[in-house]
Amino acid sequence: MINNKGMSFGETVHVNVKVLPKIDDTIIFTKVKKIIDSKEVDKFSFEEAMFALNESNFDEDRAIELIKKMRKFKAEKFNQD
């Protein structure tokens, strides 16, 4: 950037941005409900399913795997304490 005296200042910052396609809220909630209902025992919470769905670019199978990995990580961390 250049200030009003013509001198440069600041630093150049490169940012990678991932643009996701616009998805209707009803589709998102339908996918979250399907993830929650996929487990008969030990159900996933809405927050877990929503977070994992966002992190996995709205792929249900990847979201379920991500939740399993997060739960395993939390369990291992809890056992270490």
The CA distance from 32 to 56, in Å, is 12
Contact 28, 58 (CB under 8 A): yes
Confidence of residue 65 (pLDDT cuts 50, 70, 90): very high
| pTM recorded for the entire structure | 0.65
If one compares 43 and 62, the residue with the highest pLDDT of the two is 62
